[in-house]
Structure 1
Amino acid sequence: MKNKFTLILMVTMLISILAGCGSSANNTNNGAAANTTNDSSTTNAADPAPAAETPASGEKATVQFWHSLTGKNAEYMDALIKRFNDSHEDIEVVGTFQGSYDDEVTKLQQAIASGTAPDVSMLERAYVQMFADSDVLEDLNPYMETSGVSKDDFTEGLMGHSIFNDKLVSLPLNRSTPILHVNKTLLDEKGLAIPTTWDELKKVANALVVKDKDQVTRYGFTMPYDTWYPIAMISQAEGTFFNADNTSIGFGDNGVGVKVFSYLKDLQSSGALYYPPAQDSGNIVTQMFVDGKVAMMFGSTGSIGSLADAVDFDYVTAFLPQDKVFANPTGGANVAMLSGSKNKEAAWEFINWMETDPQGALPFIMSSGYLPFTKKMVESKEIQDLWAKEPNRKVAYDQLQYATDTNKDVAWPEVMHEFFSAIEAIMYDSKDIPSTLDTFKKEAERILAE
Structure 2
Amino acid sequence: MKKNKVTLLLVLTMIISLLAGCAGANNGSNTNSGTNSGSANTPEADEQPAKGGKTTVQFWHSLGGKNGEYMDALIKTFNETHSDIEVVGTFQGNYDETVTKLQQAVAANTAPDVSMLERAYVQMFADSEVLEDLTPFLESSSLSADDFTAGLMGHSTFNDKLVSLPLNRSTPILHVNKSMLDEKGLAVPTTWEEMNQVANALVIQENGEFKRYGFTMPYDTWYPIAMISQAGGKFFNDDNTSIGFADNGVGEKVFNQLKKLQSTGALYYPPAQDSGNITNQMFVEGKVAMMYQSTGSIGGLTEAVDFDYVTAFLPKDEVFANPTGGANVAMMSGSKNKEAAWEFIRWMETDPQGGLQFILKSGYLPFTNKMVESAEIKALWEKEPNRKVAYDQLQYAVDTNKAVAWPEVMHEFFSAIEAIMYDSKDVKSTLDTFKKEADRILAQ
Query: Once superposed, which parts of structure 1, at least 4 consecutive aligned residues long, lie more than 6 Å away?
Result: none
Q: What is the aligned partner in structure 1 of residue 48 from structure 2?
A: 55
Q: How does 1:108-127 map to 2 (within 5 A)?
A: 108-127=102-121
The CA distance in 2 between the partners of 1:432 and 1:417, in whole Å, is: 19
- Whether 2:367 is the aligned partner of 1:383: answer no
1:292-441 aligned within 5 A: 292-441=286-435
Q: 2:199 & 2:9 partners in 1: Cα distance? A: 42
> Quick one: percent identity of the two aligned structures?
77
Equivalent residues of 2:168, 2:365 under 8 A apart: yes
Give the TM-score normalised by the residue count of structure 1.
Answer: 0.93
In structure 1, what residue type is equivalent to 2:370?
Answer: K
Residue from 174, 184, 208 that aligns with 1:180: 174
The aligned amino acid for 2:233 is G
CA distance in 1, matches of 2:271, 2:301: 21
> For the Cα contact (< 8 Å) 1:49–1:64, is it kept in 2?
yes
**Are the counterparts in 2 of residues 51 and 118 from structure 1 also a CA contact under 8 Å?**
no
Residue in structure 1 matched with residue 79 of structure 2 by the alignment: 85
Shift in Å, 1:4: 2.8
Provide the rounded CA distance (Å) in 1 between the counterparts of 2:309 and 2:191. 20
Q: For residue 440 of structure 2, what is the amino acid of its counterpart?
A: R
Matched, 1:9 2:2: no
Work out the CA distance in 1 between the residues paired with 2:175 and 2:140: 42
| Aligned positions, number | 429
SS in 2 for 1:66: strand
Unaligned runs of 5+ in 2: 33-45
Q: Is 1:156–2:150 an aligned residue pair?
A: yes
Rounded to whole Å, the distance in 1 between the matches of 2:31 and 2:278 is: 37
**Equivalent in the alignment of 1:99:** 93
Task: State the distance in 2 between where 1:56 and 1:272 align.
Answer: 58
1:340-391, CA deviations, whole angstroms, 9 ceiling, x for partnerless residues?
0010000000000011100010010011110000000000000000001100
User: CA–CA distance in 1 between the matches of 2:166 and 2:270?
Assistant: 30
The 2-side partners of 1:181 and 1:274 are apart by 15
Q: State the Cα deviation string for residues 421-448 of structure 1 (Å, max 9, x = none).
A: 0000000000000000000001110000
Matched residue, 1:41: none
3-state SS of paired residue (1:342) = coil
- Alignment partner, residue 136 of structure 2: 142
Offset of residue 20 of structure 1: 3.5
Corresponding residue SS for 1:289: helix
CA contact (8 A) 1:169 1:336 kept: yes
Residues 51 and 64, structure 1, Cα contact 8 Å, conserved in 2: no
The question of whether the paired residues in 2 share the 8 Å contact of 1:51 and 1:119 is answered with no
**Quick check: 1:260 aligned with 2:254?**
yes
Q: For residue 69 of structure 1, give the secondary structure of its aligned residue in structure 2.
A: coil
**Alignment RMSD:** 1.3
- Residues 12 and 414, structure 1, Cα contact 8 Å, conserved in 2: no
Letter in 2 for 1:54: E
- Tell whether the 8 Å contact from 2:30 to 2:334 is kept in structure 1 after alignment: no
CA distance in 1, matches of 2:205, 2:235: 36
- How much does 1:22 deviate? 1.9
Q: Give a deviation string over 1:235-257, Cα, whole Å, max 9, x none.
A: 00000000011111110111000
Kept after mapping to 2: 8 A contact 1:187/1:193 = yes
Q: Shift of residue 26 of structure 1?
A: 1.2
- 2:236 is equivalent to residue 242 of structure 1: yes
The unaligned stretches of length 5 or more in structure 1 are: 33-47
The one-letter code of the counterpart of 2:6 is F
Aligned residues of 1:136 and 1:340 also touching (Cα < 8 A): yes
